């Protein structure tokens, strides 16, 4: 179980504690003995990342920060330090653990707690030997002393709950989570968080003529779904909604252009964009962000089969444009395109799509950055970059020049779904732009959305990329709107 978070105003002498400190002083209220203090100071001066003092009744973890670094970097160092300490904290079997800071800046305690909480996650659902489960021995409560206020604690609780929830979804294999099952899960998330969910099933998708989604679904034995999530609080500050679109490919075999070698590895996670959208909707609804936000999730698997769509096919999309299929493995853009044109119905202020879209983005940035591009205003990109640094889900913007759009011209249809080997992440974004009648930001999470090994608190397989970034972006967006009113 994930530890609960609480605020406390007093520390009892036998409570184990993590205290974040600068390089010079150790607070009195830690009640260390003279020799413990001397030892600790020596270690701190030696620039150790942390010092552990085992007293008879308690353990004290002194975590040092490098005050010369900018705050957003220190926060990340704290998240990583928490992840480094995870094993030791676990082996010490604390029922409760206090987290406090001394001379550290606002947000330091939350960052450490966030890193710790995100490191505690494990996907143990299919382990039959429960005693092996990694979840045991974690503190059941993290107690904040002189740190965050109630609102900050609520934000951290809801945000990390959301990451846990969507990691579960991403890690779920396709034999347990096909597209209709994903829709069921999204419905449940909506019920818990308080946003509405409408699920369009195959008949409705056919009636709407969503050609992209239907084409990709042709090789599947399961029907496609199209989920519409809506959070519309009475006090919404925006009159035109923000629309989030998430790629919900529950498994990507490549289709008839089948993925060879080990390229199918972790393709159960090709719905990480969809999961991120559900996660963001969860966080903003739980915390009551005063924005009207709509989430669109087209979902199916992509498989070869007797009736599967084929290279060379020409597909009429939802917006009536025709697309020549150059490669059935470029399926994500086919389903996103329909969702992006469907978004026009809501006259959105901004459309943001998030998708594990191209190997090209993963090759360029590895797990370190989310590739972003689009035609939306500069202010949106600036805010996204700022939030990206803040939560350390960093964004790297790619050019979106019209020349890249020429690479997906087709001789026989309006456009092609592939643009050759070069600039793959950008041509994918340009493809999507054709379907956007409103400002678009496209986020390709193929790199950080699926990791081969743990990267500190970003755990392997489905680390849950994009949720912390987009939730923070919307929170800040609302704050900025409010300040301007
Ligand atoms: N889901 C993949 C992209 C992907 C690759 C995500 C690696 C995560 C890790 C996507 O559908 C895909 O197959 N893209 C192709 C497009 C190509 C055929 C134009 C790719 O990038 O190779
Ligand atoms: Zn693919
Ligand atoms: Zn895919």
Give pLDDT tens digits for 188-245.
999 999 999 999 999 999 999 999 999 999 999 999 999 999 999 999 999 999 999 9
Q: Whose CA is nearest to atom 13 of ligand 1?
A: 329
Please list the residues that pair with 461 across neighbouring strands.
451
Q: What is the pLDDT of residue 45?
A: 85
Question: For residue 227, which of 169, 175, 310 has the smallest C-alpha distance?
Answer: 169
Q: Is the CB of 270 under 6 A from ligand 1?
A: yes
Q: Is the CB of 447 under 6 A from ligand 1?
A: no
Pairing of strands 17-21, 59-64: parallel
Q: Is the CB of 418 under 6 A from ligand 1?
A: yes
Q: How far from each other are the two terminal CA atoms of the chain, in whole angstroms? A: 42
Q: Whose CA is nearest to atom 5 of ligand 1?
A: 359
Q: What is the distance between the alpha carbons of residues 91 and 88, in angstroms, rounded to a whole number?
A: 5
Q: What is the pLDDT of residue 1?
A: 80
Q: Whose CA is nearest to atom 14 of ligand 1?
A: 358
Using CB atoms within 10 Å of the CB of residue 446, give its burial: 0 to 12 exposed, 13 to 18 middle, 19+ buried.
buried
Q: Which H/E stretch holds residue 168?
A: helix 150-171
Q: Is the CB of 433 under 6 A from ligand 1?
A: no
Could you identify the atom of ligand 1 that is nearest to the CA of residue 332? Answer: 11
Q: Is the CB of 256 under 6 A from ligand 1?
A: no
Q: What is the pLDDT of residue 24?
A: 73
Q: What is the pLDDT of residue 44?
A: 87
Specify the pTM.
0.98
303, 249 in Cβ contact below 8 A?
A: no
Question: For residue 161, which of 259, 12, 285 has the smallest C-alpha distance?
Answer: 285
Distance 73 CA to ligand 2 centre (A): 35
Q: What confidence tens digit (pLDDT) does each residue in 38-83 have?
A: 999 998 888 889 999 999 889 999 999 998 999 999 999 999 999 9
109, 148 in Cβ contact below 8 A?
A: yes
Record the tokens describing residue 380, joined without a space: 């949106």
23 pLDDT higher than 80 = no
Could you identify the atom of ligand 1 that is nearest to the CA of residue 252? Answer: 1
Angle between helices 467-484 and 150-171 (to 10 degrees): 140
Distance 189 CA to ligand 2 centre (A): 27
319 pLDDT higher than 80 = yes
131 pLDDT higher than 80 = no
- Residue among 310, 334, 358, 421 to mutate when testing ligand 1 (max atoms within 8 A of CB): 358
Q: Is the CB of 423 under 6 A from ligand 1?
A: no
Classified as helix, coil or strand, 188 is: helix
CA angle 180, 181, 183 (to 5 degrees): 65
Q: Is the CB of 332 under 6 A from ligand 1?
A: yes
Q: What is the distance between the alpha carbons of residues 130 and 354, in angstroms, rounded to a whole number?
A: 35
Quickly state the pLDDT bin for 135 (edges 50, 70, 90).
Answer: low
Distance 331 CA to ligand 1 centre (A): 8
Q: How much is the average pLDDT of 28-39?
A: 92
Please list the residues that pair with 225 across neighbouring strands.
299
Dihedral, 120, 124, 127, 133 alpha carbons, nearest 10 = 20
Lowest-confidence pick of 14-18, 43-47, 318-322, 449-453: 43-47
- Report how far apart, in Å, the C-alpha atoms of 331 and of each of 182, 241, 280, 358 are: 18, 27, 24, 10
Instruction: Collect residues with CB below 5 Å from ion ligand 3.
Output: 249, 252, 270, 332
Q: What is the pLDDT of residue 133?
A: 53
Q: What is the distance between the alpha carbons of residues 96 and 144, in angstroms, rounded to a whole number?
A: 11
HSE value, Cβ hemisphere, 13 Å, CA-based, for 310: 4
Distance 202 CA to ligand 2 centre (A): 21
336 pLDDT higher than 70 = yes
Q: What is the pLDDT of residue 194?
A: 98
Tokens 């409760």 belong to 96
247, 353 in Cβ contact below 8 A?
A: yes
Quickly state the pLDDT bin for 349 (edges 50, 70, 90).
Answer: very high
Q: For the chain, give the mean pLDDT.
A: 96
264, 173 in Cβ contact below 8 A?
A: no
Record the tokens describing residue 457, joined without a space: 């608190």
HSE value, Cβ hemisphere, 13 Å, CA-based, for 342: 28
Q: Is the CB of 329 under 6 A from ligand 1?
A: yes
Distance 359 CA to ligand 1 centre (A): 5
Could you identify the atom of ligand 1 that is nearest to the CA of residue 257? Answer: 18
132 pLDDT higher than 60 = no
25 pLDDT higher than 90 = no
Residues classed as catalytic: 259, 333
CB proximity list for 363: less than 8 A, separation 6 or greater: none
CB proximity list for 63: less than 8 A, separation 6 or greater: 18, 19, 20, 21, 49, 50, 78, 81, 85, 112
Q: What is the distance between the alpha carbons of residues 254 and 446, in angstroms, rounded to a whole number?
A: 15
Could you identify the atom of ligand 1 that is nearest to the CA of residue 254? Answer: 13
Q: What is the pLDDT of residue 136?
A: 61
């Amino acid at each position: 179980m994930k530890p609960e978070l609480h605020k406390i105003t007093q520390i009892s002498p036998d409570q184990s504690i993590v205290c974040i400190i600068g390089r010079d002083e150790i607070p009195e209220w830690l009640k260390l003995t003279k020799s413990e203090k001397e030892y600790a100071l020596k270690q701190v001066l030696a620039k150790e990342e942390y010092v552990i003092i085992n007293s008879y009744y308690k353990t004290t973890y002194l975590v040092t920060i490098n005050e010369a670094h900018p705050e957003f970097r220190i926060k990340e160092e704290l998240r990583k330090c928490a992840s480094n300490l995870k094993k030791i904290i676990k082996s010490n079997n604390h029922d409760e653990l206090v987290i406090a800071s001394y001379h550290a800046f606002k947000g330091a305690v939350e960052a450490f707690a966030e890193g710790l909480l995100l490191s505690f996650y494990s996907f143990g659902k299919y382990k039959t030997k429960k005693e092996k489960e990694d979840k045991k021995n974690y503190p059941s409560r993290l107690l904040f002393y002189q740190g965050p206020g109630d609102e900050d604690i609520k934000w951290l609780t809801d945000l990390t709950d959301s990451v846990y929830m969507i990691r579960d979804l991403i890690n779920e294999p396709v034999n347990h989570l096909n597209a209709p099952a994903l829709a069921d899960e999204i419905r449940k998330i909506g019920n818990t968080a308080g946003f509405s969910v409408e699920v369009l099933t195959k008949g409705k998708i056919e009636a709407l003529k969503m050609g992209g989604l239907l084409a990709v679904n042709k090789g599947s034995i399961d029907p496609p779904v199209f989920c519409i999530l809506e959070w519309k609080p009475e006090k919404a500050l925006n009159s035109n909604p923000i629309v989030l679109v998430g790629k919900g490919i529950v498994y990507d075999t490549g289709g008839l252009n089948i993925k060879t070698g080990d390229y199918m590895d972790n393709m159960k996670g090709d719905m990480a964009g969809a999961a991120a959208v559900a996660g963001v909707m969860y966080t903003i609804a739980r915390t009551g962000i005063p924005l009207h936000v709509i989430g669109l999730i087209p979902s199916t698997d992509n498989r070869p089969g007797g009736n599967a769509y084929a290279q060379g096919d020409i597909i009429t999309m939802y917006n009536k444009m025709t697309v020549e299929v150059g490669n059935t493995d470029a399926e994500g853009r086919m389903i996103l395109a329909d969702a992006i044109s469907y978004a026009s119905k809501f006259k959105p202020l901004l459309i943001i799509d998030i998708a594990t879209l191209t190997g090209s983005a993963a090759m360029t940035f590895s797990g370190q950055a989310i590739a972003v591009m689009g035609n939306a205003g500069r202010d949106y990109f600036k805010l996204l970059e700022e939030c990206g640094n803040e939560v350390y889900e960093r964004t790297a913007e790619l050019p979106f020049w019209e020349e890249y759009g020429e690479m997906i011209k087709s001789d026989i249809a309006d456009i092609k779904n592939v643009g050759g080997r070069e600039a793959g992440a950008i041509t994918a974004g340009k493809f999507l732009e054709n379907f956007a009648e409103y400002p678009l930001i496209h986020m390709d999470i193929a790199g950080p959305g699926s990791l081969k090994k743990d990267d500190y608190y970003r755990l392997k397989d489905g680390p849950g990329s994009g949720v912390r970034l987009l939730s923070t972006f919307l929170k800040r967006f609302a704050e900025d709107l409010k300040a301007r009113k």
